[in-house]
């Protein structure tokens, strides 16, 4: 029985992190099995779970990428971390990487072919600045930034240590991409499927 004026309290698990700067080894010792934990310049960042809109866009992009890749390439979603160095480890929304022939990796240490970040207004700054810089420093050759709100897609290629935008599209425009995969993306179709013919 709850007495008037009393309140029930939920018991949430407590996580105590070492003082920053943290390393990838520090995170490993915590044995976290949660793809929301990322490390940027030694600072631990806990990303929110994807919204239904982000999840829908991600799922449709994964389907498109799986159809566009060869058997020696794997498409991963939020289950593979990308270790850039001892103080930077991030979890892209989508990773396209060469298949290693073994089990599904938990962490990649070599740059993948492509990373994709799907963002809404609430997390665009994080994806477009901090993570984008880490991908550049880590030598990731291709990066797509997807705006789920507009919707829109921007494709970037790493040229002379800087990302150069190689294409973009919003709403019902087509973005034709030839590297590192061949695909045509219509951002509106990532939100709602095209009308039946």
Q: What is the CATH number of the domain that holds 169?
A: 3.90.1570.10
**Is residue 44 one of the residues assigned to a domain?**
no
Q: What is the residue whose two structure tokens read 């389907």?
A: 63
d(CA 111, CA 69): 17
**Is residue 17 one of the residues assigned to a domain?**
no
**pLDDT higher than 60, residue 6:** no
Best CA proximity match to 79, nearest among 99, 39, 108:
108
**Is residue 164 one of the residues assigned to a domain?**
yes
**Is residue 41 one of the residues assigned to a domain?**
no
> What is this structure's pTM?
0.86
**Is residue 94 one of the residues assigned to a domain?**
yes
**Is residue 57 one of the residues assigned to a domain?**
yes
Q: What is the pLDDT of residue 30?
A: 80
Cα torsion through 26, 118, 52, 176, rounded to 10: -150
Q: What is the pLDDT of residue 1?
A: 45
Query: What residue numbers bound the domain in which 65 lies?
Result: 50-191
Look over the chain and give the mean of its residue pLDDT values, rounded to a whole number.
Answer: 87
Q: Residues near 105 by Cβ (< 8 Å), separated by ≥ 6?
A: 80
Indicate the helix (H) or strand (E) that contains 153: strand 152-159
Band (pLDDT 50/70/90 cuts) for residue 96 is very high
Q: What is the pLDDT of residue 9?
A: 56
- The mean per-residue pLDDT over the stretch 154-177 comes to 97
**Is residue 180 one of the residues assigned to a domain?**
yes
- The mean per-residue pLDDT over the stretch 155-174 comes to 97
- The mean per-residue pLDDT over the stretch 182-194 comes to 90
Please state the domain count of the chain: 1
**Is residue 84 one of the residues assigned to a domain?**
yes
């Amino acid at each position: 029985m709850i007495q008037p004026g009393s309140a029930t309290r939920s018991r949430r698990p407590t996580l105590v992190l070492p003082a920053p700067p943290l390393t990838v080894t520090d995170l490993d010792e915590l044995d976290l099995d949660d793809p929301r934990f990322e490390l940027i310049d030694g600072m631990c960042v806990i990303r929110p779970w994807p919204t239904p809109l982000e999840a829908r866009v991600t799922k449709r992009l994964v389907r498109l990428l799986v159809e566009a890749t060869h058997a020696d390439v794997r498409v991963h979603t939020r289950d593979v971390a990308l270790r850039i160095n001892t103080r930077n480890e991030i979890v892209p929304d989508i990773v396209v990487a060469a298949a290693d022939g073994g089990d599904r990796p938990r962490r990649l240490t070599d740059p993948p072919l492509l990373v994709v970040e799907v963002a809404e207004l609430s997390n665009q700054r994080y994806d477009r600045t901090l993570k984008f810089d880490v991908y550049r420093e880590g030598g990731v050759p291709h990066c797509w930034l997807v705006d789920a709100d507009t919707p829109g897609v921007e494709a970037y290629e790493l040229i002379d240590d800087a990302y150069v935008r190689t294409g973009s599209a919003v709403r019902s425009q087509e973005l034709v991409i030839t590297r590192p995969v061949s695909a045509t993306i219509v951002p509106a179709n990532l939100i709602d499927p095209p009308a039946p013919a």
